[in-house]
Amino acid sequence: MAEQFDLVVVGGGPGGYVSAIRAAQLKMKVALVEREHLGGICLNWGCIPTKALLRASEINHLLHSLDHYGFAADNVRFDFAKVVKRSRNVANQLSMGVKGLLKKNKVTVFDGHGKLAGPGKLSVTKDGKPVADIAAKHIILATGARARVLPGMEPDGKLIWTYKEALVPPAMPKRLIVIGSGAIGSEFASFFLNMGAEVTLIEVLDRILPVEDAEVSAFVHKSFTKQGMKVITGAKVQGVRKEGDSLAAIVEAGGKVTEIKADRLISAVGIVGNVEDIGLEGTKVQVDRTHVVTDAMGRTGEPGVYAIGDLTGPPWLAHKASHEGVITVEAIAGLHPHAMDTLNIPGCTYCRPQVASVGLTEAAAKEKGHEVKVGRFPFIGNGKAIALGEPEGFVKTVFDAKTGALLGAHMVGPEVTEMIQGYTIARTLETTEAELMHTVFPHPTISEAMHESVLDAYGRVIHI
């Protein structure tokens, strides 16, 4: 006899566990099925442990820049195993925190692999053995995604890594190739560079961080190069030749083919949705390029089956998955939530320098037919940034010239990943330049550059 629930969530990542907790808050009887780690890829093998590593690389950079602040230290060194161990401890701590939250909210957790087994039914197995048969009127699929594998560059766990192997390397590589300059690739490239590796970053498109505003991409490219990274754009990796405990990548760029030798290679070329073996066969669930198709409320083509997070369409971000989960659960509960505007989802990349953005780029705004006003403010004009010793970078704002609507904001520099939320709130509230100009920003803060960028768009900038 199948145990009955109001809602079953398949997948315990940032979309899944948040969905389960929100449903429990709405007095539903909820089950969550997770086959590996509560918290999902983000918490265990993505967002959180990478930030712990990047914090270590930031400290390493500062320790080698002490003279700038009037300090001196001899024999500065690090224990790479301890650096990696700390990041794993951080992830484990938070995973246990998710377990506690689910228990607090009386969510029943099944340890196993969930698979649709007919209308309103789900089977749970572990290592091929049955765990439970459960039933619910509503089932949310939040099975996430995994790294895309390029033919000829299949990860072997030794020489060729995905993000998972890159998070737990047994030793610090001296030479590293990173393929793909999106957020994941740029963060790993920045981490290993700042820990002392010789890094080559390869991007098939004509610029790195290709989803960001072109000015931001150009600035990060220049900064990476200044730090000692080799950046190659418009490049295609034709293949990889393994040579004992090292490898050589055959790279075509600018009409020339060259070999780049390294100890290890990280492939960060996107993701594919985990649509296999979850029982979609025989249902009306549509899959487009490995991702499940849904409406604005998370509904699939199969009645009673919903999908959220990386299993569905872009942007593939943890905070998008969590918010999507809340919307879907509230729609199930009949609360009529607002559909999510993906242009109001901020994107953050935690490399050095940090990058953050929300809304349209300048080019995208013009392509959509907007007449724009653009403001820029460099951190070299910001007192707090100079005092911190981090005056590189800028804030860029894009407004509709006719309405004053904030179309987009783009930032590169110190702590911009913490500040972008100010512009995100502004866009959610449909704020114009008038409200932003009349907002009082505290002094001295890096956030004052956000205000100055708005002023600059309208010819009123003060400090530059």
Annotated binding-site ranges for NAD(+): 180-187, 203, 270
Sign, CA dihedral 348-85-310-182, equals: positive
Phi, psi (degrees; rounded to nearest 5) at 224 = -55, -45
Residues near 428 by beta carbon (within 8 Å), at least 6 away in sequence: 344
Q: Nearest CA to 203 among 268, 249, 271? A: 268
Residue ranges at the known binding site for FAD: 51, 114, 310
Rg for the chain, CA atoms, rounded:
24
Sign, CA dihedral 238-205-149-181, equals: positive
Rounded Cα–Cα distance for residues 419 and 210 (Å): 21
Rounded Cα–Cα distance for residues 102 and 355 (Å): 33
* Catalytic-labelled residue, pool 113, 323, 443, 451: 443
Q: 16 with 326: CB under 8 angstroms?
A: no
Q: 181 with 203: CB under 8 angstroms?
A: yes
* β-bridge pairing 3-10 and 30-34: parallel
Residue ranges at the known binding site: 51, 114, 180-187, 203, 270, 310
SS3 content of the chain, % helix, strand, coil (to 5): 35, 30, 40
Rounded Cα–Cα distance for residues 48 and 93 (Å): 11
DSSP H stretches of helix in 148-198 = 163-167, 183-194
Rounded Cα–Cα distance for residues 27 and 77 (Å): 53
Token code pair at residue 127: 């290592």
Phi, psi (degrees; rounded to nearest 5) at 326 = -65, -45
Q: Which single residue is written with the structure tokens 């768009």?
A: 457
Strand partners, 288: 291
DSSP H stretches of helix in 9-115 = 16-25, 40-45, 47-63, 80-104
Rounded Cα–Cα distance for residues 365 and 371 (Å): 8
What is the SS3 assignment for 399?
A: strand
Rounded Cα–Cα distance for residues 457 and 386 (Å): 23
Rounded Cα–Cα distance for residues 375 and 64 (Å): 35
Planar angle of CA 67, 392, 182, nearest 5 degrees: 115
**Residue 443 designated active-site:** yes
Name the residue type at position 442: P
Token code pair at residue 394: 């800028």
Q: Which residues are catalytic?
A: 443
